Amino acid sequence: MLWQAGPVLVHLVDGTYELFRHYYALPRRAGADGAEVGAVRGVTSSVLGMLEEGATHLGVATDHVIESFRNRLWPGYKTSAGVPEDLLSQFGPLESALRALGVAVWPMEELEADDALASAAAVAAADRRVERVLVWTPDKDLAQCVVDSRVVQCDRRSGRVIDEAGVWEKFGVAPASIPDYLALVGDSADGFPGLAGWGARSAAVVLARYGHLEAIPDDVEDWDPALRAQLRAAASLAARLAADRSLALRFRDLATLRVEPGVVGTVDDLAWRGPTPELAVVCEQLRDPALARRATALAARRGLGT
C-alpha cells in the first residue's frame, strides 16, 4: 500500500550537491573495506530523514560521471579535475545505498544531475495528482524549472523556498529567462564567463524588458528608451552583445537544462515502498547498522512491506 493516498508532494534531491556538502561537513569515516564512506552515510541518513519527516515520493539525481555532453560544447566547462578522489569514489556507493533504501536514483553520465531533476520536475508537474514539486538544491540553474508556487526550489541549509515570485526577487527575471541571464553574467561554478561588461543588474534590467537574447536589439538606438535611461553603459552593453551574440547563445545552451523523455518514468516510480533486503548488507559495509533499523522501523509504521 502507499502511505499517502491524497495529493502528492514530490521531492527531488540534487545528490551531487548533497554528496559534496556532506563530504566537506562531516568527519572522514571508513567502511568495512577501508574505503571512505562518510559522505555516503551522511547523504543516505539525510534522505532517510526526509522520509521520516513525511516525504512519500522522492528521487535523487547524481552526476555518476562529472563530465557531460556540455564539455563538448565549451572547453572550459566544469570537470572532475581537482575533485578529491575519495569524494569521487563515493558516487557509486551512494547510488547503491539509496537504491537499497528503496529510493529512486538517477545516476547521470551523458546528461547531468540537473537535467535529471528538470526532467523529473516536468513529469511530476504534468501529473494532476501532484500538489507540489520541491526541488532540493540551491543551484541557480534549477531556478528555470520553477512554475508559480507549484514547482519550487528549496535550500535545505537555509530552509528557504523559492517560488516564481522568489525567482523574480532573487534574479530580477522570470524563470524562463534564467538561461539567458546566466549566458550574460556567466556561471563560475560551471566554468563559463558570460559577456564582458554584463553584470547581474544590467542583465536583469534588460531581460526583464526583452525576456530572451533574440529579442534584444543589436543597436542601442533600438532599445527601449527607459532602458537607456536606466543603464549608463547601455551603448557598450549593446555593442558587446552584438559582437558576441553567437557566444552568448552558446552559453545559454550550456545553461539550458535538458528535459529528456525516458530519464524518469512516472510519479508512481517515486513512491517509497520501504527498504530492500539489501539495505542491511549495505549498512554493514557502511558500518552504520542504525540506518537500516531506522528504515525498517519507518516502513513498519507506514505499513509497508520490506
Lowest mean pLDDT among 1-15, 41-55, 101-115, 172-186: 1-15
Q: Which residues contact 279 (CB under 8 A, 6 or more apart)?
A: 100, 101, 102, 291, 292, 295, 296
What is the per-residue pLDDT for 156?
83
The verdict on 20 and 46 lying in the same domain is yes
In a domain, 1, yes or no: no
Single-letter amino acid, residue 263? V
Strand ranges, E, within 232-287:
none
Distance CA 180, CA 191 (A): 16
Q: Are 252 and 144 in contact (CB under 8 A)?
A: no
The verdict on 241 and 180 lying in the same domain is yes
The verdict on 23 and 112 lying in the same domain is yes
Reference 259, options 61, 78, 71, 4; nearest CA is 61
Whole-model pTM: value is: 0.95
What mean pLDDT comes out for the span 223-227?
A: 95
In a domain, 130, yes or no: yes
The verdict on 136 and 275 lying in the same domain is yes
Condensed to tens digits (0 to 9), the pLDDT of residues 68-111 reads 999 999 999 999 999 999 999 999 999 999 999 999 999 999 99
The verdict on 17 and 97 lying in the same domain is yes
CA atoms within 13 A on the CB side of 224: 12
Lowest mean pLDDT among 6-10, 60-64, 297-301: 6-10
In the predicted structure, residue 306 carries a pLDDT above the cut 60: no
Q: How many residues does the chain have?
A: 306
What is the per-residue pLDDT for 42?
98
Give the domain CATH number at 289.
3.40.50.1010
Single-letter amino acid, residue 140? K
What mean pLDDT comes out for the span 184-209?
A: 97
Other CB atoms within 10 Å distance of the CB of residue 221: 11
Mean per-residue pLDDT of the chain: 95
The verdict on 126 and 206 lying in the same domain is no
The verdict on 46 and 180 lying in the same domain is no
CA-based max dimension of the chain: 68
Measured between its terminal Cα atoms, the distance across the chain in Å is 12
Boundary-marking domain end, from 217, 238, 255 = 255
Q: Could you list the residue range(s) of the whole structural domain that residue 197 is in?
A: 175-255
In a domain, 3, yes or no: no
Other CB atoms within 10 Å distance of the CB of residue 281: 12
What is the per-residue pLDDT for 179?
98
Say what angle helices 289-302 and 279-286 make with each other, to 10 degrees: 150
The verdict on 207 and 269 lying in the same domain is no
Total domains present in the chain? 2
Which DSSP letter does residue 73 get?
A: H
The verdict on 111 and 249 lying in the same domain is no
What is the per-residue pLDDT for 2?
41
In the predicted structure, residue 1 carries a pLDDT above the cut 50: no
What is the per-residue pLDDT for 3?
42
The verdict on 193 and 217 lying in the same domain is yes
Chain Cα centroid distance, residue 239? 34
Q: Are 184 and 201 in contact (CB under 8 A)?
A: no
